[in-house]
């Protein structure tokens, strides 16, 4: 034995080609020893003259998909040997990070369109790309603990897998047409003879709807240039207006959308998210995204997608394979049963999907990237806890909408994938399964559980049924804490002013909050200001029917006669009687419902077919404004931001015949300036150190931009990697719970 080093590498370092990278590095620097995967990451024993340079390069030159959190080197005795070797993985455990699924790399795409043995093969991958989390069944990450286990490698694939100099060295899903999964086309539950690619492309070009088994679930696809096909898909899926996602190669995307350098880089990121892009150039049918100024585009991210897009030669609608509101299908039998009434044909394959993963949705704003839905390609990536937090294990369950689970362990927060609305029975089943799945996969044993204050939320009820200490966290406090945590605000970093704007959240006074200015930190908060409360007439129905909110707002502003004129065909007497008697009409300060109300007075008269439809239409309308004048005023009286002056100024504009787009702009600007002014005062008086912007309304890029502009000169914290909506709620709950537990 001679003197050397024991080197521990922590982070996202398994399943990303890190061991062959270390092997190559050792050869470059004249180092001997060994490298292995184990429960904590990658472990290296090394000796040699170039050891210092070798250690420095471990993080500085890491592979593309690796994320190195720490390199810990300590002297130790290392056996003398003439070479450097890669040894088998250590025992089971889950201290290391699991790598998210990654889009096909350029080398693999070149192979499927080349002349080699993987030409046209839909499961081509290497250590730099391909499935990871979607096929993983246990740790450490080895082929036997993935859904590739049933496929025995042929001699050629085995040779690549065992060669440290090959880019497929220990690529667990490695396969080829001789030994790997296969693809076929079905109609009416029967396999159709012939080439799957030609059959699928023909069905799409002929206006058919095709269910396509992807990486984390099935999609429903059709020709996006065919208005009749898009309309048929909407009718079958019962999705009348919610925008459809689109898939095409980048050169095709540029024909239909404006793509900046940042947006192009995001599209080409290994996570391959759906990216919201402004319409430009050639037009697609309005049915793709009715009333929207943006389209959601993603690039082909598997070899199957690349082959299909290449064969069709047109942009494809690629929307979730489900009935609206239900989880996506992932199994072949499940898809036949649930999608049989939607699809004219199925593109099937025989590699199982270990867990359901929707596509991530993101956009680029003037403030940087914004995650709207955190899912495939981003999970199970972790976030380091801010300075001051300890290493307790804890689980948090989020809210009722856009459910996601957060696990905390070893000072890392793992925010799980988007699950959906827990009112839906199948989504609830997926939530319970995800809870078990994450706990088992990451060897998680929580000391406590965090949840929302709302006693009616299924996630809250689930938390109370586990027999663990429960920390209930107010909804908007969790939003504030999620933004603090994402941006690395220390536990003792001081208080911030939190502008938290969303649909609804259960308040400490048992009313419905949603347009809030909080002053606080992880440990607690005070409610400094809020929108003037008005009744939500009909309770949850008010969230679906914006006209109800408009009537309530106009009545509260003393403009009942205007409501009478605009909504003369509605049962206003019955509505007002319910409000007066407080029958299913709880008071609410919701900013989301204020958006709905304003959309209704500008012409959105129907029911919303999906959450945020009216508000998204209002944002799109505002962006068309030619005259972008001062915003409508909100008056701060004590702790109330009164919306009555906003409505009075709007009425004057309406009477003068101001264009709806300009009124929509002034609404956004007024809301931004009203809250920003109140928050600025908290900073200027020394009560707050910075301003946090959180809540689902801040996924409106225009509102975000206008609010940041109104806060010029003040430190502002915004979401980048964690959704501002309820998809980030569990992270905030976890941090608040940790802060409270560690202060007791």
On whether both 144 and 199 belong to a single domain, the answer is: no
Q: Give CA separation, 711 vs 322, 594, 630, 638, in Å.
A: 42, 22, 15, 21
For 135-183, write each residue's pLDDT tens digit.
999 877 789 999 999 999 999 999 999 998 899 988 999 999 999 999 9
Structural domain includes residue 503: no
Question: Which residue of the set 8, 10, 19, 725 is catalytic?
Answer: 19
On whether both 701 and 730 belong to a single domain, the answer is: no
On whether both 593 and 647 belong to a single domain, the answer is: yes
Measured CA to CA, the distance from residue 132 to residue 135 in angstroms comes to 6
> What is the model's pTM?
0.93
CATH at residue 679:
3.30.420.40
Structural domain includes residue 675: yes
Structure tokens at 650: 């709007």
For 451-502, write each residue's pLDDT tens digit.
999 999 999 999 999 999 999 999 999 999 999 999 999 999 999 999 999 9
User: Which residue among 86, 111, 133 closes a domain?
Assistant: 86
On whether both 265 and 163 belong to a single domain, the answer is: no
Query: H or E stretch including 385?
Result: none
On whether both 703 and 622 belong to a single domain, the answer is: yes
Structure tokens at 63: 């592979």
pLDDT at 2: 66
Residue 406 reports pLDDT greater than 90: yes
pLDDT at 93: 52
Structural domain includes residue 143: yes
On whether both 549 and 581 belong to a single domain, the answer is: yes
Residue 408 reports pLDDT greater than 60: yes
pLDDT band at 381 (very low <50, low <70, confident <90, very high): confident
Share of residues in the chain with pLDDT > 70 (%):
98
3-state secondary structure of 138: coil
Residue 95 reports pLDDT greater than 60: no
725 is catalytic: no
Q: What is the DSSP string of 452-514?
A: ES-TT-HHHHHHHTSSS-EEEE-HHHHHHHHHHHHTT--TTS--EEEEEEEEEEE-TTSSEEE
Kindly state the average pLDDT of the residues 42-59.
92
On whether both 71 and 188 belong to a single domain, the answer is: no
CA 272 to chain centre: 12
Residues 6+ apart with CB under 8 A from 81: 32, 33
pLDDT at 139: 78
Question: Which residue of the set 10, 27, 36, 37 is catalytic?
Answer: 37
On whether both 690 and 713 belong to a single domain, the answer is: yes
359 preceded by a cis bond (ω within 30 of 0): no
pLDDT at 273: 98
CATH at residue 229:
3.90.870.10
Structural domain includes residue 567: yes
For 342-360, write each residue's pLDDT tens digit.
999 999 999 999 999 999 9
On whether both 650 and 705 belong to a single domain, the answer is: yes
Kindly state the average pLDDT of the residues 267-286.
97
On whether both 539 and 664 belong to a single domain, the answer is: yes
CATH at residue 148:
3.90.870.30
Measured CA to CA, the distance from residue 703 to residue 697 in angstroms comes to 8
pLDDT band at 91 (very low <50, low <70, confident <90, very high): low
On whether both 75 and 173 belong to a single domain, the answer is: no
Residue 325 reports pLDDT greater than 90: no
pLDDT at 441: 85
pLDDT at 455: 95
User: Which residue among 349, 364, 394 closes a domain?
Assistant: 349
User: Which residue among 331, 349, 367 closes a domain?
Assistant: 349
What's the total number of domains in the chain?
Answer: 5
Residue 442 reports pLDDT greater than 80: yes
Structural domain includes residue 737: yes
Which residues constitute the domain of residue 77? Answer: 2-86
410 is catalytic: no
For 188-202, write each residue's pLDDT tens digit.
999 999 999 999 999
Measured CA to CA, the distance from residue 521 to residue 481 in angstroms comes to 7
Structural domain includes residue 355: no
CATH at residue 53:
3.30.70.100
Structural domain includes residue 669: yes
Pairing of strands 361-365, 210-213: unpaired
Structural domain includes residue 114: yes
On whether both 473 and 549 belong to a single domain, the answer is: no
């Amino acid at each position: 034995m001679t003197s050397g080093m024991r080197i521990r590498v922590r982070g996202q370092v398994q399943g990303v080609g890190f061991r062959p990278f270390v092997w190559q590095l050792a050869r470059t620097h004249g180092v001997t020893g060994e490298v292995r995967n184990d429960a904590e990451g990658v472990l290296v024993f090394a000796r040699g003259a170039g050891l210092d340079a070798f250690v420095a390069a471990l993080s500085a030159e890491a592979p593309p998909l690796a994320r190195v959190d720490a390199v810990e080197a300590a002297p130790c005795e290392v056996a003398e040997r003439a070479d450097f070797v890669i040894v088998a993985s250590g025992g089971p455990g889950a201290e290391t990070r699991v790598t998210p699924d990654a889009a096909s790399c350029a080398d693999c795409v070149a192979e499927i369109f080349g002349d080699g043995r993987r030409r046209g093969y839909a499961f081509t991958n290497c250590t730099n790309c391909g499935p990871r989390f979607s096929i993983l069944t246990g740790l450490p990450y080895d082929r036997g603990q993935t859904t590739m286990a049933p496929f025995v490698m042929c001699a050629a694939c085995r040779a690549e897998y065992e060669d440290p100099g090959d880019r497929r060295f220990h690529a667990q899903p490695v396969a080829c047409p001789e030994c790997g999964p296969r693809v076929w086309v079905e109609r009416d539950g029967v396999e159709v003879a012939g080439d799957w690619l030609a059959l699928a492309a023909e069905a799409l070009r002929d206006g058919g709807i095709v269910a396509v088994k992807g990486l984390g679930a099935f999609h429903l696809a059709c020709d996006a240039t065919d208005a009749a096909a898009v309309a048929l898909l909407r009718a079958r899926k019962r999705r009348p207006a919610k925008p459809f996602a689109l898939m095409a190669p980048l050169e095709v995307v540029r024909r239909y959308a404006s793509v900046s350098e940042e947006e192009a880089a995001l599209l080409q990121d290994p996570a391959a998210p759906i990216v919201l892009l402004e319409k430009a150039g050639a037009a697609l049918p309005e049915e793709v995204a009715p009333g929207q100024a943006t389209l959601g585009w993603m690039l082909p991210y598997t070899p199957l997608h690349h082959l299909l897009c290449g064969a069709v030669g047109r942009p494809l609608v690629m929307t979730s394979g489900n009935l609206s509101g239900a989880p996506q299908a992932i199994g072949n039998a499940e898809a036949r049963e649930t999608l049989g009434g939607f699809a004219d044909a199925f593109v099937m394959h025989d590699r199982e999907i270990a867990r359901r993963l929707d596509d991530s949705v993101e956009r680029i704003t003037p403030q940087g990237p914004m995650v709207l839905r955190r899912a495939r390609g981003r999970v199970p990536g972790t976030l380091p806890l801010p300075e001051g937090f300890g290493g307790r294990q804890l689980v948090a369950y989020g809210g009722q909408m856009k459910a996601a689970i957060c696990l905390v362990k070893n000072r890392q927060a793992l925010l799980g994938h988007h699950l959906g609305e827990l009112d839906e029975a199948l989504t609830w089943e997926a939530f319970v399964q995800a809870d078990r799945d994450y706990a088992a996969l990451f060897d998680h044993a929580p000391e406590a559980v965090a949840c929302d204050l709302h006693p009616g939320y299924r996630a809250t009820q689930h938390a109370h049924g586990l027999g663990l200490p429960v920390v209930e966290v107010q909804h908007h406090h969790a939003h504030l804490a999620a933004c603090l945590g994402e941006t690395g605000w220390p536990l003792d970093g001081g208080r911030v002013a939190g502008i938290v704007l969303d649909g609804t959240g259960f308040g400490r006074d048992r009313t419905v909050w949603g347009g809030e200015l909080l002053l606080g930190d992880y440990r607690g908060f005070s409610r400094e200001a809020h929108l003037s409360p008005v009744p939500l007439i009909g309770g949850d129905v008010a969230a679906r029917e914006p006209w109800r909110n408009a009537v309530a707002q106009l009545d509260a502003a003393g403009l009942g006669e205007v409501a009478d004129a605009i909504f003369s065909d509605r049962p206003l007497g019955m509505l007002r009687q319910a409000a007066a008697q407080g029958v299913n009409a709880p008071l609410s300060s919701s900013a989301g419902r204020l958006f709905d109300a304003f959309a209704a007075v500008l012409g959105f008269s129907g029911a919303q077919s999906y959450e945020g439809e009216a508000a998204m239409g209002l944002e799109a309308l505002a962006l068309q404004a030619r005259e972008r004048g001062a915003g409508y005023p909100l008056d701060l009286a004590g702790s109330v931001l009164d919306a009555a002056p906003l409505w009075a100024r709007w009425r004057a504009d309406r009477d003068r015949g101001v264009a709806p787009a300009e009124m929509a702009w002034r609404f956004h600007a007024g809301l931004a300036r009203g809250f920003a002014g109140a928050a600025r005062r908290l900073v200027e008086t020394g009560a707050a150190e910075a301003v946090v912007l959180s809540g689902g309304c801040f996924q409106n890029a225009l509102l975000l931009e206008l609010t940041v502009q109104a806060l010029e000169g003040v430190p502002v914290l915004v979401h980048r990697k964690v959704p501002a909506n309820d998809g980030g709620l569990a992270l905030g709950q976890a941090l608040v719970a940790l802060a409270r537990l560690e202060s007791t």
